[in-house]
Amino acid sequence: VSTQSTGTPDVGMWASLEDRPSWQLFMLACMSPIFQILAGTTLFLSLLLINMYTRMFAMAYAVWLLVDSSPDHGGWNSILPYARRFGVWRTVKKYFPAELVKTAHLQPDRPYVFGYHPHGIISCGALLNFGTYATGFDRLFPGILVHVLGASAMFNVPFFREWMLAHGGGRCDKKTCSTILSKGESILLVVGGARESLEAYPDTLLLTIHSRKGFVKLALEQNAWLVPVLSFGENNLFHRMERSTSNSSTIRMIQERLLNLFGCTIPAFFGVGSMPFVASKVPGTGSFAYGLVPFRHPLNCLLYTSDAADEEDSVDLGGRRIIKKKKRYKIRSGNN
């Protein structure tokens, strides 16, 4: 499903909050992982250079980073409730504004695999709705503890990893997924991954699903229930540098090459606010044309499930019941 818009962002969307330096800096610190990664890396390098004592601390921290297994278990559950209820997240919610819509009841006595779409540039909706309690996940779905999982590389970034772990983050690999689900806790996967992020153009909804079946097999193995999640507005929070979605563009070819070589890529995007890539202002506003702060746009996140989620012999996939496949898998497992 796609409706395409590649023109210049509408200046009218840039409401007064985006023009205030205090809001720009606030949103930059809270909802810009790129800024947080740069800040954490800069802090670590600074500690190595300041003096002998800070250097020793940085080296000890580096050893801790290598041996700590917290990302394999979904972060720090003891700190998670406090971090997710941190007051700044309610302010971030008002900025977009964001809303989490409950469409069905989920039983708290079972693990769930939440499949989030679309990826967008940064998956702000996944982080805000499931990595915090700002939109009321703990109130709408009491008793369900969900961990937002992301690329393993993020948990190698100094100090940024602690921010993610405090909010219940973890590595997006099979070992981590199985460990969390086996404890009866739930996980959220941004199913489309880096491939889907390359299709994150404003006013479009292009999903990468057909080639992503691993999360379904994982749910069958762990007897978990699948819950599709669709976030409206995710692709409108940033705009792309490319003027078209053509795969023949130079930037797109570079992104595809990186994706094929490393399994991840970097979308060429821009938002609004402080620390611009190019010091160019939008006429009639005080906002920079290129920044790392998300645009203000309503962010409405819907969870969908069906009656299959209440049946012991079924796995729900957006209203479709997977029954026979589950039985066949059990037979194969038994033969092995």
Burial (CB count <10 Å: 0-12, 13-18, 19+), residue 264: middle
Q: What local confidence, expressed as pLDDT, does residue 178 receive?
A: 92
Rg (CA), the chain: 21
- Give kind and range of the element (H or E) at residue 53: helix 52-67
* Dihedral class, residue 184 (left if φ above 0, else alpha if ψ from -120 to 50, else beta): left
Q: What is the pLDDT of residue 121?
A: 84
The model's pTM is 0.76
Beta bridge partners of 321: 316
pLDDT in tens, the chain (336 residues): 433 443 344 434 434 444 455 555 556 555 567 777 888 888 989 988 888 888 899 999 999 988 888 899 888 988 888 999 988 888 888 888 889 988 888 888 889 999 898 888 888 888 899 999 989 999 999 999 999 998 888 888 888 889 899 999 998 888 999 999 999 999 999 988 777 777 777 888 887 777 778 888 888 888 888 888 888 988 888 877 665 445 557 777 777 777 776 666 676 676 766 544 444 444 444 445 566 778 788 888 888 765 444 455 444 444 444 443 444 434 333 343
- Check if the beta carbon of residue 125 is closer than 8 Å to that of residue 233: yes
Three-state DSSP at 305 gives coil
Find, among 242, 177, 168, 253, the residue nearest to 215 by Cα.
177
* Six token digits for residue 188: 């959220």
Q: Which residues contact 25 (CB under 8 A, 6 or more apart)?
A: 273, 274
Residue 166, both tokens: 């405090």
Q: How far is CA 51 from the centre of its chain?
A: 37
pLDDT of residue 30: 58
Residue 185: CB atoms within 10 Å: 19
Quick one: CA dihedral 102, 104, 110, 115, positive or negative? Answer: negative
pLDDT of residue 60: 93
Amino acid, single-letter form, for residue 303 = L
- CA-to-CA dists, residue 127 to 30, 81, 100, 130, 168, angstroms: 11, 15, 12, 6, 10
Amino acid at 233: G
pLDDT of residue 221: 86
What's the chain's length in residues?
336
Other Cβ atoms closer than 10 A to 120: 27
**C-alpha to C-alpha distance for 155 and 148, rounded to whole angstroms:** 13
Nearest to residue 114, comparing CAs of 333, 329, 317? 317
Three-state secondary structure call for residue 326? helix
Residue 305, pLDDT score: 63
Rounded distance, CA 78 to CA 69, Å? 15
pLDDT of residue 152: 82
